[in-house]
């Protein structure tokens, strides 16, 4: 198949125009009319992921995070980004990213994570101004009230999260849950206005844990941990529409953050 046939399927689900202005989603290395035979799905493009792509004969790597956010001024292997881009070009491996457009797509990242945690009746937490159903984060309800600490332990087990950082416990039990994958501190106010008992997100700073003012509990589960579901989400999008194209979920996509617990 040619790359455009594959990326068109992804972009029907998560159009590139839904990405944020700072983002660099889309085809980063390769040309739309290049022929490819097998895709590898990962969270990030890393040297380990490229090792896997080469070993498995994958000539297309689709990730959630774009490897290039800022202009590269030189290619001399000075850092991991340059090395990976150079290697992809030399190895004729195309690189494609589906980032904030996948975050804001209806049924996208936050929807998937919320469903994994048993949250139903989902609606967008911060709707897009375009009025097309897109937006960031979701809010919904559990089928029953669950003790707040026990719910965080459920999150740990289901997502294989080593550490959860959380604010003061606002309520003994949770029923309404807000979720935003990735860095979601900016939506604490939206979660509060939505009446959430707990807000699950990542990349919270020190002062962010004071912002809820005990109106709700905020739980930081880690950026990678909140977005690892991207691999399965993209796999589902492609496998439902491409019956004869090989798609592999990376086994070497790993968290760059290590925890001493």
pTM: 0.96
pLDDT at residue 3 tops 80: yes
* Cα 75–chain centre separation: 28
Mean pLDDT for the stretch of residues 248-252: 97
Q: What pLDDT is stored for residue 70 in this prediction?
A: 87
Supply the DSSP string of 24-35, one letter for each residue: --EEEES-TT-B
The pLDDT value given to residue 63: 98
At a CB cut-off of 8 Å and minimum separation 6, what does 107 contact? 13
pLDDT in tens, 26-50: 999 999 999 999 999 999 999 999 9
pLDDT at residue number 130: 76
pLDDT in tens, 173-184: 999 999 999 999
**CA-to-CA distance for 218 and 50, rounded, in angstroms?**
36
Separation of alpha carbons 43 and 249, rounded Å:
10
Look over the chain and give the mean of its residue pLDDT values, rounded to a whole number: 96
Q: Would you say how long the chain is, in residues?
A: 261
The pLDDT assigned to 71 comes to 85
Read off the pLDDT of residues 47-79 as tens digits, 9 standing for 90 and up.
999 999 999 999 999 999 999 998 888 888 889
Q: Left if phi > 0, otherwise alpha if psi is -120 to 50, otherwise beta: which for 138?
A: beta
Q: With a cut of 90, say whether residue 220 has pLDDT above it.
A: yes
Instruction: Locate 204 and state its tokens.
Output: 């919270």
């Amino acid at each position: 198949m040619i790359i455009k046939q594959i990326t068109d399927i992804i972009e029907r689900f998560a159009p590139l125009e839904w990405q944020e202005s700072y983002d660099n989603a889309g085809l980063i290395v390769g040309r739309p009319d290049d022929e490819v035979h097998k895709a590898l799905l990962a969270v990030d493009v890393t040297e380990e992921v490229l090792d896997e792509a080469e070993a498995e004969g994958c000539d297309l790597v689709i990730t959630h995070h774009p490897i290039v956010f800022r202009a590269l001024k030189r290619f001399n292997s000075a850092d991991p980004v340059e090395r990976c881009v150079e290697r992809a070009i030399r190895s004729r491996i195309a690189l494609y990213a589906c980032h904030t457009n996948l975050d804001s797509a209806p049924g996208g990242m936050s929807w998937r994570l919320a469903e994994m945690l048993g949250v139903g009746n989902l609606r967008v937490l911060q709707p897009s101004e375009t009025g097309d159903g897109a937006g960031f984060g979701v809010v919904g309800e559990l089928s029953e009230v669950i003790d707040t600490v026990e719910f965080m332990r459920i999150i740990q087990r289901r997502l294989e999260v080593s550490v959860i950082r959380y604010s003061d416990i606002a309520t003994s039990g949770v029923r309404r849950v807000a979720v935003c994958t990735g860095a979601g501190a900016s939506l604490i106010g939206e979660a509060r206005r939505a009446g959430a008992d707990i807000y699950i997100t990542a990349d919270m700073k020190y002062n962010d844990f004071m912002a809820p003012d005990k109106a709700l509990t905020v739980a930081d589960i880690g950026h990678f941990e909140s977005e690892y579901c991207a691999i399965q989400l993209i796999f589902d999008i492609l496998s439902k529409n491409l019956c004869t194209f090989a798609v592999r979920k990376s086994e070497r996509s790993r968290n760059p953050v290590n925890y001493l617990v």
